[in-house]
Amino acid sequence: MNLETVIEKHALKNAIDHDGKANAKAVFPKVISEFPEVKNQVKEVMQKIELILKNVNKLGDGDQKIKLLKIDPSMLEKRKPEIKELKLENVQGKVVMRYAPNPNAGMHIGNARAALLNDFFVKKYGGKFILRYDDTDPKNENKKPNKQAYKQIENDLNWLGVEISEIQYASKRLGKYYTIFEELIKKSKAYICTCESEEWKDLRRTGAACTCRSNSIYENKRKWNMMLFGDFKQGTAVARLKTDMKFRDPAQRDWVCFRIVNKPNHPITKNKHTVWPLLDFASAVDDHDFGVTHILRGQDLVISERRQNWLYSYLHWNYPLVITYGHMGVEGAGTFSKSLMSKGITKKKYSGWNDPQLPMITSYARRGFHPESIKKMIIEIGLTGGKINISEDMLSSYNKKIIDHDAKRYFFVKNHQRHLMKDVNQEITVPNHPTNPTLGERKINVKGKVYISKDDVQFLKKTVDCRLIDFANVKLVKKGELKLSTRQEIKKEMQKIQWVSSGEKCEVINKEKVVKGLVEESVLKEKIGTVMQFVRYGFVRLDKKKPLTFVFAHK
């Protein structure tokens, strides 16, 4: 962490603790205790502090917290009692909550937020977590459910530690939806509309009703049965809920409950049904039927509640309590659009759904993220109503705190280049972790040569000592050859160079880049899936042994 960041960190903390306004005199000693080398530059440091303070004090409380979370989340943990407790209103006994993904792909980190928050409340209050597959849109190519995605979503949820109490498939409940719709026809609250779609939209715009709206219950029942028996072609008839054609919000005027999809080729029900409910209808029925007590919903879906309220009032049902939350952007995490991801996979831009460039849960798992890091971050962000922007760096800092203590260190150099060390033949012992002795140590033989990164070759000099980390001070003899220096004491200003004595060629996949290098051979005894740190490079996960491949997590 550089001086500016340390100042910003303490300024943010001080501001959060003092109604959003940080005090330079209070920040100064904190900075000095962390950065003692500047303690004699009081004036310069104070100037820097004051400059940074100006910007920090301009931010609102929420932004200050988000910024501090990005720099050092532990600074906020220390004042946990003041983080607003995540709770639900109106809990009577147990809660029933649902997570309702469309199984067109596995989960990305935005989906994980919804799932983890639901899981959090179910565990907090006791109750049920229902996984409800919202799989009733076989028409739209981008949204069409696919068989592997069902299993993938369950795997993702299991990996995240979400406890699923019950699994429901909307596509298996079409009969139930039909029954409810027939009830609405009988109440004269629904009708079959055979108008041409553009024509109907024109009517909606002006608030006028089409002629179908005044058809008799009998006529509607007849046409509904025609729909079910396949007597209408796709696009020639829809089933509508009767709301109010003059209602101020046009999106709520007589909305569509069912439409016809020819040859849906649905992964579960194949071509058994051609009349499919729209999301708002199916989820409204299910929430009632499953006894859902609380719904967490993205702000972009507020319209659903408004539409569904018509149906709930016609059927005398009680709407669950809805808690809306704002959109979460994740800077540096790639696209959240599953159709873009899918296109990228087809075009080989991504190797698959677990490509490290993607913000999918499987991608994070493959990179060696611990599920707890995602969970902790999501729960600490909580249910903010507004739009929030976090970054992948923030997630990385949560993860680092979790994995660092148990991640063994290994030597790795990228773009390795051999250097002879003719006079050397020795065995050295290095710890597997700088501060965790339980991880043990390992022996490394250095015999006649070392490999260092091409990037570090520039530092090697004939006249100046460099430090081969954990090994020895060396000087350049000539291009491609080193020798041990006569002086072996380690000095602060010395250039430190990572090295490998003899190793295995490997690749590290770092998002869109593939870095080639050499890793010490003892890594081969690790199991696939092990998360470790390549010293001075970053945390990686062993992805496969043939060819030896690692996936980069973060610094």
The pairing of beta strand 466-468 with beta strand 495-497: parallel
Question: Residue 193, interface with Zn ion (CB under 5 A)?
Answer: yes
| Least distance (Å) between residue 195 CB and Zn ion | 3
Question: Residue 238, interface with Zn ion (CB under 5 A)?
Answer: no
| Least distance (Å) between residue 190 CB and Zn ion | 12
Nearest to 431 by CA among 535, 350, 537: 535
Tokens 């043990």 belong to: 440
Rg, C-alpha atoms of the chain: 31
- Choice between 212 and 500, CB closer to Zn ion: 212
Class of residue 25 by CB neighbours under 10 A (exposed 0-12, middle 13-18, buried 19+):
exposed
Q: Is 507 helix (H, G, I), strand (E, B) or coil?
A: strand
In this structure, are residues 77 and 15 in contact, taking their beta carbons and an 8 Å threshold?
A: no
| Least distance (Å) between residue 236 CB and Zn ion | 11
Q: What angle do CA 158, 159, 161 make, to 5 degrees?
A: 65
**Size, binding site for Zn ion by CB under 5 A:** 4
| Least distance (Å) between residue 237 CB and Zn ion | 9
Question: Residue 192, interface with Zn ion (CB under 5 A)?
Answer: no
Helix (H) or strand (E) holding 503: strand 503-510
**Residue of the chain from 68, 95, 116, 195 that contacts Zn ion (CB under 5 A):** 195
Taking CA atoms, 423 is separated from 449, 477, 484, in Å, by 9, 12, 8
Within 10 angstroms of residue 521's Cβ, the number of other Cβ atoms is 16
Stretch that binds Zn ion, among 11-19, 107-115, 205-213, 427-435 (CB under 5 A): 205-213
| Least distance (Å) between residue 232 CB and Zn ion | 13
- DSSP letter, residue 382: -
| Least distance (Å) between residue 229 CB and Zn ion | 20
| Least distance (Å) between residue 194 CB and Zn ion | 6
Residues in region 206-225 near Zn ion by CB under 5 A: 210, 212
| Least distance (Å) between residue 61 CB and Zn ion | 52
- Choice between 215 and 498, CB closer to Zn ion: 215
- Choice between 200 and 276, CB closer to Zn ion: 200
Site string for Zn ion, 151-190 (x = CB under 5 A): ----------------------------------------
Q: Is 466 helix (H, G, I), strand (E, B) or coil?
A: strand
Nearest to 137 by CA among 101, 90, 93: 101
The pairing of beta strand 95-99 with beta strand 127-133: parallel
Nearest to 473 by CA among 451, 453, 500, 491: 491
Residue 308 Cα to chain centre, angstroms: 29
In this structure, are residues 292 and 130 in contact, taking their beta carbons and an 8 Å threshold?
A: yes
| Least distance (Å) between residue 197 CB and Zn ion | 10
Question: Residue 241, interface with Zn ion (CB under 5 A)?
Answer: no
Question: Residue 203, interface with Zn ion (CB under 5 A)?
Answer: no
Stretch that binds Zn ion, among 114-122, 191-199, 288-296, 532-540 (CB under 5 A): 191-199
Helix (H) or strand (E) holding 75: helix 74-77
- Choice between 177 and 191, CB closer to Zn ion: 191
Residues in region 297-326 near Zn ion by CB under 5 A: none
- Choice between 254 and 520, CB closer to Zn ion: 254
Measured between alpha carbons, how far is 224 from 177 in angstroms, rounded to an integer? 13
- Choice between 98 and 189, CB closer to Zn ion: 189
Tokens 């033949």 belong to: 425
| Least distance (Å) between residue 140 CB and Zn ion | 23
Stretch that binds Zn ion, among 45-53, 193-201, 388-396, 519-527 (CB under 5 A): 193-201
Please report, as ranges, the residues that interact with Zn ion according to CB under 5 A.
193, 195, 210, 212
